[in-house]
Structure 1
Amino acid sequence: MNLLDLLFLIPTLGLSLAVIVPLTGVLVRFRANYNPKGLQLDNEGGAQPHTGPVIRSYFGMMKRVYRIEGWAGLYKGFMPTMLSTLIVTLFILTFLDTPKTRHGAYRPPETGILGSLVYSVAMMLISLPTAILTYRSITTPHKLPYLQLVDNLRILLTPTERRRPWILYLTPGLLAAEVFHIAIVVLGLGPLRRLLVPALSQRTEQGYGDISFIKLSIYLIVVIFSTAILTPLEVIATRLAIQRNHASSEYNSVSQEVEGDAEETAEFSGADEDVIGLRHEADPYLGLIDCAKRIVDEEGWMALYRAWWITLLGGIGSAFA
C-alpha cells in the first residue's frame, strides 16, 4: 500500500464511519434493551412491575437516544469502531490484498468453502475483543472520553477481564453464536449463491451476466428463511457481548466475585433516565440456549427478532456485493 492509497483511505473511512456508527449504535441498543413483559420480584419477594424503557422499533430507539443523549449518544462507540476498522483494513490491504483488487472492493481469498469458513472464523476471533468493547461502549450509561483509554477500560471491563483478557473469549455462548452465524452464511448461503445465481459472483465492468429470474427468486426466498435463524443469533450475540465476566473461586466466568470485582466506575452521564434497560449482572445468561430461552420466557419471542429487516437487507445486499 502506497502513500496515495493511505491518503485516500482515511477520509473514506471517516465518511463511512460517520454514517455507520450512529446506525449501528441504535441497532445494538435496540437489541440489547431488556424489557421483561411480566412482574419482577424485589429483594423481599414482592411483585413489582418493570419500570424500564419500552421501545418497540428501531427508529423509536433512534429518537430516544437523540432525545436523551443528543448527537454524542448516537456516536457512542465511535473510537473503538474507528480503531478496529483501521487496524483490520490496514492488515487486509497490506497482507491480503492484490494489485487487482486494491482500488476496488476487497474480497476474501478464494479458497473453497472450508477455507472461507476458516478465514471467516479467524477474522471473527481477531475482531471479537474490539467488538465486545464497542458494544459495551454503546450500551454503557457512562460518558467515555475519547482519549482516556485506561479509564474507559476500567469502566467497560471487570477486574477479572483486565487481569485475564482472554476470558472475553470464554463469555458463555458468545463464540457459539458467532460461529453458528458464520457457518450459516459461509456453508449455507455462500454455496447456494454460487449454485443458483453464479452471475452475481462474476460481476465485470459491463455489469452482471445472465441471471435466471426463477433461480434468483429461489435464492431470495432462502435469504428470507435464513433471516429467521440469523436474527436471533445476532440478538443473542449482542446480549452476551455486553454481559461482563466476573470471577469466582471455581473460575466460573459468569459468577460474581466476592471481593475485588466491584470497583467504583465513572459517574453517570447526568441524564435523568437511562436510554435502555440492562439485565442485572447478578443473574447472567449461562449460554446460547439459556439466553434464547430466557429472552423468550421474559420478553417474548418477538424480542429475538428485533430489527429483523436490517438482517434481511444485509442478506439481500450481500447477494449483489
Structure 2
Amino acid sequence: MFMAILDLLALIVSLAVSLAIVVPLSGVLIRYRANYNPKGLNLDSEGGASPHTGPVINNYFTMLARVYRIEGWAGLYKGFMPTFLTTLMITVGLVLFADAPRPGSGHYRAPDIGIIGSLIYSLGNMLISLPSAIITCRAVTTPYKLPYFQPVKSLRVLLTPTERSRPWILYLTPGLLAAQAMHIAVVVLFLGPLQRLLVPLSPGFSEDFSPVKFGIYCFVVLASVALLAPLEVISTRLAIQRNHASAEYNSVSQEVEGDAEEVDLAGVEEDVIGLRHEADPYIGLLDCAKRMVDEEGIMTLYRAWWLTLLSGLGSAFA
C-alpha cells in the first residue's frame, strides 16, 4: 500500500515536471494558430470599413516572445490545470485498467489490436478528451486571468450559459468532431500501417532498418503535413468558438450576465491575440477552411506546419 502511494506520487511529480515544459510550448502553438489576422478591412457597427487593428504574428517564436512580454510566465502557463488533470486521469486509467502506452498530443498509440481496433480505440480517446481539449484551448486563448483552484469560476468565463446548461453541446461544435476524426483517420489508417511496413522499429534498434525505406517514410510524412497541418489549425479555431443559443448572443452579452465578473485581464495594455467575432461563427469544417483562406490567406492553414512534421517523424522513433 505504501509503495503504491509512493508510485502514485512519483507519477504525479513526473507528469507535473513534463507538463512544465510542454504546456508553455503547446499554449504558444494554440495562440499562434488561433490568432485572427484578416487581410482586408473590417466593418464597424455602422457598416463602415476600418482596417484590422489586431496583432500581426508571423511565426511561432514571435508569438512566444509576445506572450511573455504581455502576460509573463503566468501567460505561458495558461491551461496548465485542465491539461494536468486530464493527463493525470488518462494516465492513471491506463495504468490501472489497460496495458497500453499513454496517448500523447498528435499521436495515437493504441494497443496492438489491428487497424480497425486502433481506429476505434483512438476515436474513443478523442471523444472522451474532447471537452477537456476545448476547455484547454479556451483557457489558453482567453484574455482573462483564470484562478487555478476555482474551476466553477473559470468555467463561467470559458463556457456560455448554453454550454453550461447543456454540456453535450460541446460535441456539436460545428466541424470540430469531423476535423478531429479526419486527423485520426489519416494517422491510424494511412501513416500507421506505412510506419509498420517501412520503419518496423527504431533505426538504432532494428537489424531490418533500411535507409531507403526510412527515406520513403519521411517523404510520406512530409506529404501528409499538407492535410494534417490544416486540420490541426482548423481544430484549434473551432475549439475556441463558443456555442450560443443564437448567433446574436455574443461575448459582450455574456459579460453583462456576469460571466467575467471579478476576473482580471491577463494583459494590462493589450491582448496577446485577436479573436474572430462570435456573432459571425464558422458553420463547419469546410466553411472554416474557406473563410480562413479568403480572409487571412492560405498560409494561415499551415501555421507551425514544421511542428506537425516533427511530430510525424518523431512517431517513427517512438
TM-score between the two structures when normalised by the length of structure 2: 0.92
Change (3 A) 1:168 1:96: same
Partner of 2:152: 150
Partner of 1:237: 235
Deviates more, 1:5-14 or 1:223-232: 5-14
Partner of 1:315: 312
Distance 2:116 2:220 in 1: 21
Q: Give the one of 269, 273, 278 matched to 2:275.
A: 278
Distance 1:113 1:261 in 2: 47
Partner of 2:225: 227
Deviations 1:1-39 (A, max 9, x none): 933431321121011000000000000000000000111
Q: What are structure 2's unaligned runs of at least 5 residues?
A: 103-107
Q: Could you tell me how far 1:267 is from its partner in structure 2?
A: 4.1
Q: Secondary structure of the equivalent of 1:199?
A: coil
Q: Give the one of 34, 46, 49 matched to 1:44.
A: 46
Q: Could you tell me how far 1:43 is from its partner in structure 2?
A: 1.8
Distance 1:267 1:282 in 2: 24
Counterparts in 2 of 1:29-40, with a 5 A limit?
29-40=31-42
Partner of 2:76: 74
CA contact (8 A) 2:143 2:267 kept: no
Deviations 1:178-217 (A, max 9, x none): 00000000000001111122234xx8xx823321111111
Distance 1:247 1:14 in 2: 37
Distance 1:149 1:199 in 2: 43
Partner of 2:244: 246
Distance 2:159 2:63 in 1: 25
Partner of 2:105: none
Deviations 1:72-112 (A, max 9, x none): 000000110110010111111110127xx89xxx9531110
Q: What are structure 1's unaligned runs of at least 5 residues?
A: 249-254
CA contact (8 A) 1:158 1:261 kept: no
Partner of 1:251: none
Q: Secondary structure of the equivalent of 2:205?
A: coil
Partner of 2:248: 256
Distance 1:296 1:119 in 2: 33
Change (3 A) 1:224 1:315: same
CA contact (8 A) 1:29 1:138 kept: yes
CA contact (8 A) 1:132 1:242 kept: yes
Partner of 2:170: 168
Distance 2:47 2:295 in 1: 17
Change (3 A) 1:267 1:12: closer
Distance 1:21 1:155 in 2: 20
Counterparts in 2 of 1:16-31, with a 5 A limit?
16-31=18-33
Deviates more, 1:40-49 or 1:175-184: 40-49
Distance 2:116 2:248 in 1: 39
Q: Name the amino acid aligned to 1:33.
A: N
Q: Name the amino acid aligned to 1:286.
A: I
Change (3 A) 1:53 1:185: same
Q: Name the amino acid aligned to 1:245.
A: N
Q: Could you tell me how far 1:319 is from its partner in structure 2?
A: 1.1
Distance 2:109 2:178 in 1: 25
Cα RMSD, aligned residues only = 2.0
Deviations 1:87-141 (A, max 9, x none): 111111110127xx89xxx953111000000000000111110110000000000
Q: Name the amino acid aligned to 1:284.
A: P
CA contact (8 A) 1:31 1:238 kept: yes
Counterparts in 2 of 1:103-252, with a 5 A limit?
108-200=110-202, 207-248=205-246
Distance 1:5 1:218 in 2: 42
Q: Does structure 1 residue 89 correspond to structure 2 residue 91?
A: yes
Distance 1:268 1:4 in 2: 39
Distance 1:144 1:59 in 2: 24
Q: Could you tell me how far 1:261 is from its partner in structure 2?
A: 6.3
CA contact (8 A) 1:117 1:183 kept: yes
Q: Secondary structure of the equivalent of 1:40?
A: strand
